[in-house]
Amino acid sequence: MSSVIWITGLSGSGKSTLAQAVHNELMNVRPSSSVFLDGDELRKLFAKCGENSEYSEVQRVEYAKKYSLLCKMLAEQGIIVVIATISLYSQIHEWNRKNLPNYFEILIEANIETLKKRDPKGIYKRFMCGELTNVSGLDLEVEMPCSPDHVLLAETNYNCESEASKIVSRVLRLKQNEN
């Protein structure tokens, strides 16, 4: 049985780092049964396929729908999917819960000051300088998940590998209970 581990939060919260750690832990436990998807990389891929490269709120929702459908397709083939994506829209979270097998949602919460300090892509700095718009959590409203399965606070400086191990244990336990 497959699963989708959906890791969400604002830009700079640590989604990709945690997702990579979860994927690595899965590969240690079950080699070749998981795939790691990163929202930034998926968006670039879709843009290369002739997609509109605009990143408005409407386009973000469309991308999130595509990410969900891709996760569903992969999971239906028995793959455990680990995805890191902002995709903070209630309609996406609800659809995922109803349609993705063994859906496990992780929210990484971070206050704006932490995100501004981290800012690995320079998004917050460019926004503050007026060079960038359509930034989730700033000029674009976000809808945090109502009931994520696991919540991490970026400000606590959690140990990524330790959290990844806990998450994988929970997901595999859920899968066993389903069978």
Provide the residue-wise pLDDT of the chain in tens; the chain has 179 residues: 689 999 999 999 999 999 999 999 999 987 778 999 999 899 888 777 765 555 677 888 888 999 999 999 999 999 999 999 998 899 999 999 999 999 999 999 999 899 899 988 888 998 899 998 888 888 888 899 999 999 999 888 889 999 999 999 999 887 666 65
Which pLDDT score, from 0 to 100, does residue 24 have?
Answer: 95
CA distances from 175 to 100, 153, 178 (A): 13, 26, 5
What residues are labeled active site?
A: 87
Q: Give the model confidence (pLDDT) of 21-45 as tens digits.
A: 999 999 998 777 899 999 989 988 8
Taking the CA atoms of the chain, what radius of gyration do you get in angstroms?
16
Residue 61 burial (CB < 10 Å; 0-12/13-18/19+)?
A: middle
Closest CA to 11 of 129, 117, 135: 135
Helix (H, G, I), strand (E, B) or coil at 19: helix
In 10 A of CB 86, how many CB atoms?
21
- Locate 131 and state its tokens: 């060079």
